[in-house]
Structure 1
Amino acid sequence: MNWQQVIDPFGNIGLSALLAVVPILFIFWALIIRKMKGYQASLIATVLAILIAISAYGMPVKLALLSTVNGALYGLFPICWIIITAVFLFNITVRSGQFQVIKHYMASITSDRRLQALLIAFAFGSFLEGMAGFGAPVAITAALLVGLGFNPLYAAGLCLIANTAPVAFGSVGIPITVASQVTAIPELAISQMVGRTLPLLSVFLPFYLVVIMAGFRKTREVWPAIVVAGVSFAFLQWFSSNTLGPALPDVIAGIGSIVSLIVLLKFWKPKGTWRFPNEPAPTILNDINYTTGQIIRAWSPFILLTLVIIAWGLKPIKDVFNAVGQVQFEFPGLHNVILDTSGHAVPHLFKFNYLSATGTAILLSALISIPLMGMRYREATKVFGETLRQLTFPIITIAAVLGFAYIVNDSGISLTMAEALANTGVLFPFFAPMLGWLGVFITGSDTSANALFGKLQASTATSIGVDPVVTVSANVSGGVIGKMISPQSIAVAAAAGDLVGKESELFRFTVKHSFYMLMAICCIVLAQAYLFSWVVPHYQMIAAGAASVIPDFTEGYLYLLILAIVLVVFVAAVKVINRKKVFPRISQ
């Protein structure tokens, strides 16, 4: 028996929207005012959403519970799988003692916390977002910064805020690909429009990050680095998104920003070294000089991670992995049972793509790294068990958050809020980014938000005489701002930043910055819609029924062979460089 979604249960969209927003307002209240732990707030919000779905929206109890379970499973895989493997990779680097070498190396480049944040949270995080996404960049960069001695709250908060710049082009452009699929607007057109919006934020973001850390006066001391990081990133993001499409802007801009900063720091250093107030003096001994081989070995987990993540992001490799290593099934009792407002059945397919998952790429990097760092696999197994215990509450939080996202979407609660915003008429371009922001807050994913609201954005824009690429791109751009306060992202950052149980502090740290940036994006989009319409790219809608391309597995196997050769050569090179001398394990 089917059940059809309801958007306006009270027959008044304003009243219905007031009820629909209650679970979200509860999350804000619980984390900001009540200061609840993340898993508590998420579980209660999920129960609240279930009750509203059943009582007000008429959703059958069975469907409401099944929808929540489906979301929780998605939270466990692939989201939690990424977090577990990312934290495991970092933990074995610390346990082996090699992170001490990394700390010394970073200090040799710069021991200034402001510049380390630009290098790791902003530039390196953007690169990882371009290749992996789904929380991996925040997990890895936050753990790195905490390991370097950052205040945990600032490490996690800065990584969340820095992650706004690249999210739209994350995972080799998947968010924009999905937006194109649901709207029939070409990928390149959406990429170009986003690439004419987000660089305005990206060029300003390094300055904003350092001001948050150190205040305006101390920010002026590192203005050359801020300018170099922001301008290089924004220019490359704009150029690649407008000429190459959505797949590579983060990778190109992230690498360009890293290289530009390192080159600058070869010729320029700030007059003083800034560290956090009350931070202990650095314990790195200046009389220790590590060889190039030692440095490469210490960085090998992250070098391997980069190589493997790049390969995992290639479509031919994904096709091969999904062909031989993916289990897909229709979720029992839920698949095609719910009908959307148009009467179309909503599919619920669970994909267990255990080979192509980003978490598997991270795990492979860790497994190869273990012997390179002088560890035994038996010891690494113990570290993995400790990692699972460390992440118990974040796993519960993420499962609850995704359960919340699924019940809110399947019941029609999220569509009620979207419909209310769509009724704002000519002001809709101003509110369009808010819709993307809301979608990412709920789902934790810009990709999911585009799938959820992309079609509504396009149809509403057309009805008021605005080019739909403006509002569809606004959904993408607004979504990146919601990423920093999404309960899913907060849970990931808290787990990596050693802030488990303190999610409310992290949420309060980021929420005001999310609202500031959201208002800026809303004003930019409104101006693009009516004042600067010349920035809108020219394009033709994608014709319906375009032929699909059959995956070329031969190409995928060739790429895998190349990856295997590269990994073998890298491992052999590290061993050769270090074989002349056996290095003792470095005390932590």
Structure 2
Amino acid sequence: MYAQIFDPVAHSIAASAAFAALPLLTLFVLLGLLRLPARWAALASLAVSMAVAAFVYGMPGGQVLSGALEGAAIGFFPIIWIGINAIWLFKLTQESGHASVLRQALANVSADQRVQAVLIAFCFGALLEALAGGGAPVAICAVLLISLGVDPLKSATICLIADTSPVAFGALGLPITVLAKITRLPVHDISVMVGRQAPLLSLFIPLMLVFIHDGRRGLKEVWPLAVIAGVAFAFAQFAGSMMLPVELVDIVAALFCAGVSIIFLRVWSPAFLRGDLKAPDTAVAARGGYSIQPRAGMQGAVLAMPMTAGDPPFDRTRDKVSTAGGAAEPTTMRHSRADILRALAPYVAVIVVVAATQIGFIGHAMGALTSSFAWPGLHVVDPHGAAVSAVNAKFEWVLSAGSIVLIAGIFSVPILGLDARVATRTYLKNLHELRWAVFTVCCVVGVAYIMNLSGQIVTLGIWAAQAGAAFAPVSPILGWFATALTGSDTSANALFGMLQLTTAHHTGLSDILLAAANTSGGVVGKAISPQNLAVGAVAVGMMGREGVLFRRVASWTILMIAALSLLVWAQSTPLLGWMVP
């Protein structure tokens, strides 16, 4: 039996916290400063966490190893399991040729890559996060942006930043429902409070995406759409948190945001397409992107999708556009409504399967295939003698989000006109491509479990909680670190939810406020988590260069967490205290 101790170094929380922080420092220094691939940074962090647990905290070696194996197992299922199946789902559309149909359907809404970044990464990505979570939004949306000609590094950066504000209500509201179970606080109250924090980020994220893609010029030309999209999503998320079940908040917000944005684009287009401003530099994107051709008689430009060898033989109508100087006429393509519906079928299938799980007997049958057991070799209790929850493992084999996406993919195979052999070959190839991402995730979640089981996480939390009433702005930062470590806002709530509650009771702060702040802060950490970085790097062909992505997004997350910390502080004072339910 191992009894946790939170001040093993000279009975000092501060000294103990210095050692407890070593695994996190190792991870971020190796990844961000020394530019090591995420897999080696994660492995080194795992080794450091195990050494601290064994030699500083006195955790028996056998239990240290067992805890690392449990974390690795949880890292694979359910965390990276959803990313594997979501990416496979998209690869099925690529195999059938329907990925280009979806790409071109989105291009028909607007040929401007900056607009596409908002529609795909923010609107469509939010829907994917709402339905499944995991690495699906980053992987799928990054590939879509690349296919439209966006630079791979920009594509990954844009998608990592976009996959933040929807995370709080993502995966059918799982982060909030898990937090409610751990803290025994009302789900609705937590939902309402998160709905008064996370939408602040939603207001500005589309503007960030446009700036990342095209700098100040992009903001100057596309800010109206960015503002409309941000306000629409923020409003829907805010209102939905009060009126809808947590499972539906982000689904409704994403659909509402997409609808409002598309309607707005019917009456507005970026300045350079209208000819009001000078067009961007002429360029032809690699990977089947757009070429910018000057339109005769105007200063602007028209973007045209060139035919590529990989385009499937769908029915097309060609719109010829005259170009200055008698240059060759670019070609655009349009697909039938049936083709577009078929391209959307895999994502509709996810919604249908999710809806089916809400039907009593179906959900019960799927939930029956669940394994719950005490993890072998772990006998850990807290200082009061109560068993630590992490010693118990639970695997929802069919009802997990990843399995739901897998089922939707199986249903989609015949709809996309593929056979089982192609689908199986695609799945195995996908597993091979994601092998290092899987390894990275398993190592990082192993770090989280070792730190949780040994007591390192609680040590860091207690040290931070010594700030007393000033803890309020620190509260979301804990969620930020925990999600950066685990790659999951749900896991961050499992790690720090009870700590936030305990701190609230000792400092006189609102328990609802601090619990929600852990969730809201966690959404920011999603962008710099090694899991998301690894999935994003694989998706855009930058395996081993996760450190480059980390440096691209780290400054944005610092800006977002600073704004969120300021908001939580204000909500802990009479200034905005009226916002706390």
TM (norm. structure 1) is 0.86
Kept in 1: contact 2:477–2:518 (CA 8 A): yes
Residue number in structure 1 paired with 2:240:
240
Report the CA distance between 1:290 and its aligned residue: 2.0
Cα distance between partner residues in 1 of 2:14 and 2:359: 45
Residue number in structure 2 paired with 1:560:
none
Kept in 1: contact 2:80–2:134 (CA 8 A): no
Report the CA distance between 1:125 and its aligned residue: 1.5
Structure 1 residue runs of 4+, over 6 Å off?
Answer: 274-278, 313-316
Residue number in structure 2 paired with 1:170:
170
Aligned match of 2:490 in 447, 450, 457? Answer: 447
Residue number in structure 1 paired with 2:460:
417
1:405 is the counterpart of 2:448:
yes
Matches within 5 A, 1:506-585: 506-538=549-581
Residues 84/402 of structure 1: CA separation in 2 closer, same or farther (3 Å cut): same
Residue number in structure 2 paired with 1:121:
121
1:344 is the counterpart of 2:367:
no
Matches within 5 A, 1:59-78: 59-78=59-78
Report the CA distance between 1:98 and its aligned residue: 2.2
Residue number in structure 1 paired with 2:214:
214
Report the CA distance between 1:512 and its aligned residue: 1.2
- List gaps (5 residues or longer) in structure 1: 539-588
Cα distance between partner residues in 2 of 1:146 and 1:480: 25
* Letter in structure 1 aligned against 2:407: L
TM (norm. structure 2) is 0.87
Q: Output one character per residue of 1:427-446: Cα deviation in whole Å (capped at 9) or x when no partner.
A: 11111111111221222221
Report the CA distance between 1:314 and its aligned residue: 6.8
Aligned match of 2:306 in 275, 283, 301? Answer: 283
Residues 454/316 of structure 1: CA separation in 2 closer, same or farther (3 Å cut): farther
Cα distance between partner residues in 2 of 1:69 and 1:4: 20
Aligned length: 534
Residue number in structure 2 paired with 1:295:
340
Report the CA distance between 1:29 and its aligned residue: 1.1
* Letter in structure 2 aligned against 1:307: V
- List gaps (5 residues or longer) in structure 2: 274-279, 292-304, 308-329
Cα distance between partner residues in 1 of 2:234 and 2:539: 27
Report the CA distance between 1:214 and its aligned residue: 1.1
Structure 1 vs Structure 2 CA RMSD: 2.1
Residue number in structure 1 paired with 2:7:
8
The range that moved more, 287-296 or 377-386, is 287-296
Report the CA distance between 1:45 and its aligned residue: 0.8
Matches within 5 A, 1:29-40: 29-40=29-40
Cα distance between partner residues in 1 of 2:468 and 2:372: 42
Q: Output one character per residue of 1:385-412: Cα deviation in whole Å (capped at 9) or x when no partner.
A: 2112111111111111111111111111
Cα distance between partner residues in 1 of 2:137 and 2:19: 35
Q: Output one character per residue of 1:512-560: Cα deviation in whole Å (capped at 9) or x when no partner.
A: 111111111111111111132442444xxxxxxxxxxxxxxxxxxxxxx
Report the CA distance between 1:276 and its aligned residue: 10
Aligned match of 1:305 in 337, 345, 350? Answer: 350
1:458 is the counterpart of 2:501:
yes
Cα distance between partner residues in 2 of 1:129 and 1:315: 24
Q: Output one character per residue of 1:553-574: Cα deviation in whole Å (capped at 9) or x when no partner.
A: xxxxxxxxxxxxxxxxxxxxxx
Report the CA distance between 1:79 and its aligned residue: 2.2
Residue number in structure 2 paired with 1:357:
400
Kept in 2: contact 1:312–1:358 (CA 8 A): no
Helix, strand or coil at the partner of 1:477: helix
Report the CA distance between 1:172 and its aligned residue: 2.2
Report the CA distance between 1:317 and its aligned residue: 4.3
Cα distance between partner residues in 1 of 2:576 and 2:260: 33
1:193 is the counterpart of 2:199:
no
Residues 279/528 of structure 1: CA separation in 2 closer, same or farther (3 Å cut): same
Residue number in structure 2 paired with 1:574:
none
Residues 381/293 of structure 1: CA separation in 2 closer, same or farther (3 Å cut): same
* Letter in structure 1 aligned against 2:339: Q
Helix, strand or coil at the partner of 2:572: helix
Residues 99/117 of structure 1: CA separation in 2 closer, same or farther (3 Å cut): same
Kept in 1: contact 2:105–2:334 (CA 8 A): no
Helix, strand or coil at the partner of 2:59: coil
Report the CA distance between 1:286 and its aligned residue: 2.9
Aligned match of 1:329 in 358, 364, 373? Answer: 373
* Letter in structure 1 aligned against 2:370: Q
Matches within 5 A, 1:43-82: 43-82=43-82
Percentage of matched positions with identical amino acids = 39
Q: Output one character per residue of 1:491-518: Cα deviation in whole Å (capped at 9) or x when no partner.
A: 2222333322111111111111111111
Kept in 1: contact 2:225–2:264 (CA 8 A): yes
Cα distance between partner residues in 2 of 1:148 and 1:360: 30
Helix, strand or coil at the partner of 1:333: coil
Residue number in structure 2 paired with 1:89:
89
Kept in 2: contact 1:457–1:472 (CA 8 A): yes
Cα distance between partner residues in 2 of 1:19 and 1:316: 50
Cα distance between partner residues in 2 of 1:500 and 1:94: 20
Q: Output one character per residue of 1:102-126: Cα deviation in whole Å (capped at 9) or x when no partner.
A: 2222221112121111111111221
Residues 363/180 of structure 1: CA separation in 2 closer, same or farther (3 Å cut): closer
Cα distance between partner residues in 1 of 2:501 and 2:190: 12
* Letter in structure 2 aligned against 1:279: A
Cα distance between partner residues in 1 of 2:352 and 2:112: 28
* Letter in structure 1 aligned against 2:51: L
Residue number in structure 2 paired with 1:577:
none
The range that moved more, 50-59 or 461-470, is 461-470
Cα distance between partner residues in 2 of 1:8 and 1:429: 23
Cα distance between partner residues in 2 of 1:148 and 1:95: 17
Helix, strand or coil at the partner of 1:470: helix
Helix, strand or coil at the partner of 1:451: helix
